Amino acid sequence: MKMIYMGTPEFAVPPLKMLLENGCQVELVITQPDKARDRGKKVQYTPVKKKALEYGIEVLQPEKIKGNEKFIKRIKEIAPDLIIVAAYGKILPPEVLNIPRLGCINIHASLLPKYRGAAPIHRSIIEGEKITGVTLMYMEEGLDTGDIIASRSTEIDKKTAADLHDELSLMGGELLLETLPDIETGTAVRTKQDDSKASYAPMVFKKDGLVDFNRPPEEIERLIQGLNSWPGAYTIYNGESMKLWQAKALNDKTNELAGTIIEVTKHGIKVSAGGCTLLISRIQMPGKKAMDVAEFLKGNNMHAGEVLGR
């Protein structure tokens, strides 16, 4: 069975590696164009491109897909039986979806129809879901609206977005390998999504990480958990952006102004939030590494009465 694999970030690397290590015939890898990253603005390969080149697989990186005749021609020349997509980052037009004999399938990091869209891992944590998972689905023109082939779930508990990212990536690859035989024979069960239960997970931006201490501490805890490790939740302290990497909602009530530091100990910074308190235990100042508050206090002062967010 000839395959084309489409993906871009780290999430898409383990499923590709699993396919290759299990002898699957991946003829072509398609990924987004390389971009300048980090402070040096050095152009870096996408994670999927790096992995494909390790295995000597042809890589294409089209700036656009729709109407790109040269790109479409190359896919038709390969005549894939199946196209597999994992976090590619672009919507596929019908002219691509209709090429493979067995269709296009997508590995999506949520339990569809919940959290269709670009940031299902982050949003599932931020919104307080108890479980999430991966869904394998047939692709169509709509955004993550295709028929479900299979899904697998996991508890969120105290996992960060980074933890879930790695877990769901591996889970998606395993589910794909288990399901490929049925896809190849055309016996995979197709289940229509219930659009009435759908929700949308829009892309996450750095600005989304600004903490509002007027919100309940449980919500802030989930925001910090859901934006770890990117883009990171943050507040303002002494005129600088202070990232918040770990926190716990507490039950004790307070009448202090939202954002007011109530107590600073080796266990963390107790802050007024939504009429209750939040204990922040891991932070990061600009140009510094992330550290526990106990370590931060060895070389810095922070006092009760100061207000975060100003």
2-197: which CATH number, 1.10.40.50, 3.40.50.170, 3.90.1300.10, 3.50.50.60? 3.40.50.170
Mean pLDDT along residues 34-61 = 91
pLDDT at res. 295: 97
Q: Where in the chain is the domain with CATH 3.40.50.170?
A: 2-197
Half-sphere exposure of 56 (CA within 13 A, CB side): 1
Q: Percent of the chain, pLDDT > 70?
A: 99
State the pLDDT confidence band at 119, using cuts at 50, 70 and 90: very high
What's the pLDDT band for 39 if we cut at 50, 70, 90? low
In angstroms, the CA 18 to CA 21 distance is 5
Portions of the chain given CATH number 3.10.25.10: 206-296
pTM for the whole thing?
Answer: 0.95
Assigned CATH class of 206-296: alpha beta
Q: Work out the mean pLDDT of the chain and round it to a whole number.
A: 96
- pLDDT category at 40 given cuts 50, 70, 90 is low
